[in-house]
Structure 1
């Protein structure tokens, strides 16, 4: 049975769950494209109660609405800048968080020839047990610093320095002695995040990119499942559009999108696709438990909870 014949119309979440379950089972390889929605499903939100709990002092001082806004604020001193960013890095990169959606996903695809392409920079895939050589973090890593100039194509692990900053800060500031500087030229360090043209693509970045290209070359004509999880519309050229194109060019491929409120695909690949509007973690749990008949209620509950959180 080909993927395109598994489902020719949308007829309920339960049927979609079973379609995706079969697609995973029969796939020769699985390419996962993951965005922020996957970590949000694990509870790693950047606004709301979590933000209020982690950054009450910064909120009192500046009335920030979320972590992103606070991260781009032009603080008066580098000590306060790193007071915020060290805490931001620690809670989103090093602190122990609930990784259940990631762990369930690994259980579903770990026995397959899989690869992960992600715009997430929180390192949760590797922390959840995914093979490092099957991951490509395109947009950087909270755990890496680079030179702000940049003077070279190098990055540096920041865990020890970040933990020291978090435990020593006072009044939203770190001690001046802990300000990070480039070991090569002495310029201030900055985050290794793709936010401008100074983003450093180091040796590890290029190695991961090469492994991703090799994976696609080997499987571009095979029974490939392209699984899009929580990808929004900010950078569709990285995951969303390429996944649609790969599906259109390969009649043996299948495309699946799980996203709360943003589960879509083009009409020309609809017969090869399934789009599930629901909480990613709960949908993955349904796939694990193989209870397709109960999934519609779960998805409805997830949508209801999401609406309440916005009220």
Structure 2
């Protein structure tokens, strides 16, 4: 449970004022947002779905399992089909994304995110206002890749789940590229084989156009749960734009990791707390004012 000091309460008030005053809101979202919504990759949630893998392979969280050198593609896809299903095709345990959507749905907003779990769209966010820079658990691509296209994987994942046994899927269910026949892989940015398909480039274009249209307006850059793993995607560009744009404000909510450089300190609101806890404190749509 969050314990608010007078200082943090003042920052929260400033956040609501900045939201209400903004002509546009640019959300930058990282893994901490989904963690706040209950999509955690270790502990009880990991053991609930992967106790058999933990016992056999001795890794202790989903993330580590994603890098495990399984001895066969049948084992690999047994693990990954389960991983994809629970982190992409099930709902997050807590309504954090829904609370965020209620706050911004009547504003002119855009979302830049490194998350790949589809939570924004499931909460109601407009797909045309989203840029998933790092891919999507719900997409396969050729592992080579021999062409620049991605494929929805829900039906294949469900088949792998249905038919796996003893930590393996049937060989016939191993996904293969429809063009060259090589194994498929997830559309996740982990190396230089990541496919930036047509949808990725259209989203990048829309994001760039949104920035260009609003650079002289009152803009709130709202960073949620973004750490220092890939700061060049969200955090550093946000800091630079807030510094350069006369009417921009930077707000960051991140449990124990909210901070801003001295150059933009006067234009920043940093709240070290759980994102879901903070968002719950204002569930009224912004159109009602404050």
Match of 2:128 in 1: 133
The question of 1:22 aligning with 2:9 is answered no
The question of 1:49 aligning with 2:23 is answered no
TM-score by length of 1: 0.89
List runs of 5+ in structure 2 lacking aligned partners.
286-290
Superposed displacement of residue 214, structure 1:
0.4
Q: What CA distance in whole angstroms lies between the structure 2 residues aligned with 1:265 and 1:78?
A: 44
Q: What CA distance in whole angstroms lies between the structure 2 residues aligned with 1:14 and 1:232?
A: 23
The question of 1:162 aligning with 2:157 is answered yes
Q: What CA distance in whole angstroms lies between the structure 1 residues aligned with 2:233 and 2:282?
A: 26
Q: What CA distance in whole angstroms lies between the structure 1 residues aligned with 2:191 and 2:232?
A: 17
Q: What CA distance in whole angstroms lies between the structure 2 residues aligned with 1:96 and 1:252?
A: 37
The question of 1:63 aligning with 2:77 is answered no
Q: What CA distance in whole angstroms lies between the structure 2 residues aligned with 1:169 and 1:95?
A: 19
Residues 99, 124 of structure 1: 8 Å contact kept: no
Superposed displacement of residue 99, structure 1:
4.7
Superposed displacement of residue 35, structure 1:
0.1
SS at match of 2:15: helix
Residues 102, 284 of structure 2: 8 Å contact kept: no
SS at match of 1:287: coil
Residues 144-163 of structure 1, C-alpha deviations (whole Å, 9 max, x = no match):
00001100000000000001
Which structure carries more helix by proportion? 1
Which runs of 4 or more aligned residues in structure 1 lie more than 3 Å from their structure 2 counterparts after TM superposition?
A: none
SS at match of 2:283: helix
Summarize the alignment of residues 230-245 of structure 1 with structure 2, pairs less than 5 Å apart. Answer: 230-245=225-240
Match of 2:288 in 1: none
TM-score by length of 2: 0.95
Residues 27, 112 of structure 2: 8 Å contact kept: yes
Summarize the alignment of residues 176-215 of structure 1 with structure 2, pairs less than 5 Å apart. Answer: 176-215=171-210
Residues 86-113 of structure 1, C-alpha deviations (whole Å, 9 max, x = no match):
0000000001333511001011011011
Residues 260, 280 of structure 1: 8 Å contact kept: yes
Superposed displacement of residue 177, structure 1:
0.8
Q: What CA distance in whole angstroms lies between the structure 1 residues aligned with 2:206 and 2:52?
A: 43
Residues 25, 222 of structure 2: 8 Å contact kept: yes
User: Of 138, 146, 159, which residue of structure 2 is paired with 1:143?
Assistant: 138
SS at match of 1:237: coil
Q: What CA distance in whole angstroms lies between the structure 2 residues aligned with 1:255 and 1:11?
A: 20
Match of 1:74 in 2: 69
